[in-house]
Chains A and B, each alone.
Chain A
Amino acid sequence: MNHLPFVAASYAIGILLPASFAITAWMRMARASGQLAAIDPRRQRGAPSARGAKP
């Protein structure tokens, strides 16, 4: 019996599953950070591009 397909499937799971968690976590963090930067008054005050926009 050739065991290599079982080994390959295990490594595929061992790489793809943590990678999918990592990518979704990263995307979620980036999206939340972007939204917060857009609506948070303290961040807008601190951001150079927003300086001077308000009197």
Chain B
Amino acid sequence: MIYPNFYQTWDVISVLLSKEIKLRYRGTVLGILWSLANPLAFTAVLYIAFRRVLQVNIENYPLFILSALFPWQWLANSIGTAPMLFISNSSLIKKLPFNKAALAVAVVLNDMIHFCITIPLFAVLLFISSDHSPTLIWLVGVPVLLVVQAVLTVTIVIVVATLNALLRDLDQLVRVFLLLLFYITPVLYPVSMVPKNLEWLLVANPFAPLMISWRALMMDNDLSLYILVAIGHACLSLLIAIPVFRRTEWKLAELV
């Protein structure tokens, strides 16, 4: 009844997104470089810990980690802000009739843009430090994986944000879950290290197929079959998120 139309919602998303982008690094000297500093520092620590101390033998270990850590950061940052998303925007939600999903889309797109900045950096590092360099298959693989991960992340953010408006405990639970998922997702280790009896986790864990696919693409220029599993997860998540959101969206103004 009230939502003017689809294009207006896109305008809402775009102003919210440009606000987020302007705000994130306003006043900092290094600006957007901070979104690279974090994963690079983490990788340096891991390199020392696993390669030098524990003597893990994986070729090109820093790049190996980064190929999954950059996309993981996007996912984790978006989902990490999800619990407070509607609550921290309560003044908007209580006073203006707009599609609240726009808030979730803007957050995810913001983190996605920051992730996209890391892709060329990664390609350069790959070019310098190893004998394989990006091929044209990236032009297919990157957009597909971006879309699949964006859909999966938006839907999870919407569900988490909605549920946390009802049940505030979710904020704490999400942090624990993200940490748990980080270790059961092959980010720090290759798929081949996962024991046979736990391989079902690679399919059941909604984030594993994506991270495996990113790494296959970026390290081996390979379109992994795990992309199909990732698409499945994104569709499933969409099927859950749409009814949850439809039912609760109008109540949000009373809950936040």
Chains A and B belong together in one complex: no
> B residues within 8 Å of A by Cβ?
none
